[in-house]
Chains A and B, each alone.
Chain A
Amino acid sequence: MLRDITLGQYYQTESVIHRLDPRVKLAGTVIFIISLFCFHNIWGYLCAALFLFAVVKLSKVPFKFMIKGMRSIMFLLLITVVFNLFLTPGETVLTIWKLHITKEGIRIAVFMVIRLTMLIIGSSLMTLTTTPNNLTDGMEKAMSPLKLFRLPVHEIAMIMSIALRFIPILMEETDKIMKAQIARGADFESGNIFKKAKAMVPLLVPLFIAAFRRANDLAMAMEARCYRGGAGRTKMKPLIYKRRDVAAYLLLFAYLAGSIVVDRVPNMIAKAPVEEQVITTAGTLAETDLIDLNGLDNIQD
């Protein structure tokens, strides 16, 4: 019933992406997301899509899973599109009642959808290929320089790992309580929004109680095993970069450099005087082989 939400769930399989150091995947996700918000035109996004597609293929996670994760943000996506479409000032294309759809609005809306879709797929790819434990280990290590500023890095990482670990547990619990209440004739689907909200009470009360009970048990279990924070704590499997991690970093930077070039070059060409065009194109071609030649031709036309 509730198993459709894949955000923050691990998909178990054997792949090169699964084996990567979590720090690489973290850095990769952050860089990928930042790159998504830097692009100006469709070529940059095409580049990002290609990169994402390649990584998804490598990860061996069925594409279905990414799409499933999308379903949960459909509503957000819809709101973003509607607001951008109608509330961006600019050249009007279509008028419905008092609302104007502008050319700029369409452009922003389309880019927003592409951005958010790839953002969700990119970040769920990270959680799908990294166990929560690994992920927080990676985070802890990556953030460890911040300890100098008295940031409780270990505690933050522990809180995150517990939170992530609890997602599937609470999900299962929700599923169970939901079924139990449906068996008692509860109806979670029909009715207006107020009726639906009221119908959630028999679900939420037991769920909160269960969450507190589990938190209590966990705290007790941690204490019984002498947990006392990060000071002096060692790892059973310390994170060490391997050759494949270095290779992954290199590929990541190649993607970043390549996509920026692909994204910027058409703009530069458009702005450059006609006689300089050829030189610019040739120059960038020498720099990178990632440029879509056909695309460039189209722009020049």
Chain B
Amino acid sequence: MPIILDHVSHVYGDDTTLAVKALDDVSLVIPDGQFIGLIGHTGSGKSTLVQHLNGLLRATSGNIYFNGQDIDDEDFNKKELRSKVGLVFQYPEHQLFEVDVFSDVCFGPKNLGLSKKETELRAYDALKKVGLPDECFYQSPFDLSGGQKRRVAIAGVLAMKPEVLILDEPTAGLDPKGREEILGQICKLKEESNITVILVSHSMEDVAEYVDRILVMNHGSIMYDDVPKEVFKHYKELEEVGLAAPQVTYIMHNLKEAGLSVDENATTIKEAAEEVFRALTERTRLL
């Protein structure tokens, strides 16, 4: 189910003196099965953009097409759209409300009008996917740790079996271990079920390793839209808009300047390590 954005703009509070243009003429195609990183500093319009994708916000101008249909059409079923485009908000653990974890995860599929059996099956499946231990299933969600709460909240959206999964800063406020675990699980999920995943973040480090396409946003418009390697070539421009390339990029550039013949386009730590190792062995051979 590809999503197409056609010249979409959004203005907040356009009838006040504080009107803010949060999205400025954004055009995009999101094909099936892609893993996309949406990067931008605070206030660049990332969250506004993703809220358009499942119809929570209405574009001030421009059109959004889901599977060829305009989502702002009168006869378009928004509820169905929301079941297909799952959106996990920032700090999703703040939306938990049920008496126990399992019934909270059931909330989504239950709203889709599924049978009790199917609902519970999906909830169980989703909780397994996010790696929550079984003994937590019937605890109050408020007794869990921060990272566990977040996983429950993500499971709550996963249980709806979305075809497009959008995660708005899923690692905000987590410690490095929690961050790694969540990102790893998202990545595994992506591989297993081949859904489209959009990962919103302000940290290149978070996304560089996993995604096949990076969208960089600045002042409400798309600044770069390319594969990670190409985007990171612009690391100087990225810095100017308050972002940064992964640390690996800087190290590789510095090594190259220092005279080591490495390929500076390595983006992940693994790639970089191999590259440095290769360059070093080559050099010793020459010596």
Contacts and interface: CB of A to CB of B under 8 A. Distances in A.
Interface of A: 3, 11-13, 62, 64, 176-177, 179-187, 201-202, 205-206, 209-210
Given A12-B17, A13-B17, A179-B56, A184 B107 contact: yes
Contact of B111 (A3, A180, A184): A184
Contacts of A13: 17
A190 to B, nearest CB: 10
Interface residues of B, number: 28
A184 B111 CA distance: 8
A62 B83 contact: no
Secondary structure of the A side of the interface? helix
A186 B108 CA distance: 8
Given A64-B15, A179-B51, A184 B157 contact: yes
Nearest to B93: A206
Nearest to A14: B17
A202 to B, nearest CB: 5
Contacts of B86: 183
A62 B87 CA distance: 36
B92 interface: yes
Contacts of B16: 11, 62
B225 to A, nearest CB: 25
A181 B97 CA distance: 10
A54 to B, nearest CB: 21
Interface in B52-71: 54, 56
Contacts of B51: 179
B60 to A, nearest CB: 14
A206 B95 CA distance: 6
Contacts of B79: 185, 187
B17 A183 contact: no
B269 interface: no
B160 A185 contact: yes
B97 A205 contact: yes
Nearest to B166: A183
Nearest to A173: B94
Contacts of A206: 94-97
B175 to A, nearest CB: 20
B112 interface: yes
A185 B95 CA distance: 13
B102 interface: no
A202 B156 CA distance: 13
Contacts of B258: none
Nearest to A204: B97
Interface string B89-119: 1001011110000000001101110000000
A182 B95 contact: no
Given A64-B15, A184-B107, A205-B97, 14 more contacts: A3-B13, A12-B17, A13-B17, A62-B16, A182-B82, A183-B56, A183-B157, A184-B82, A184-B111, A184-B160, A185-B111, A185-B160, A201-B97, A206-B94
A180 B160 CA distance: 13
Given A12-B17, A177-B95, A202-B97, A185 B112 contact: yes
A173 to B, nearest CB: 8
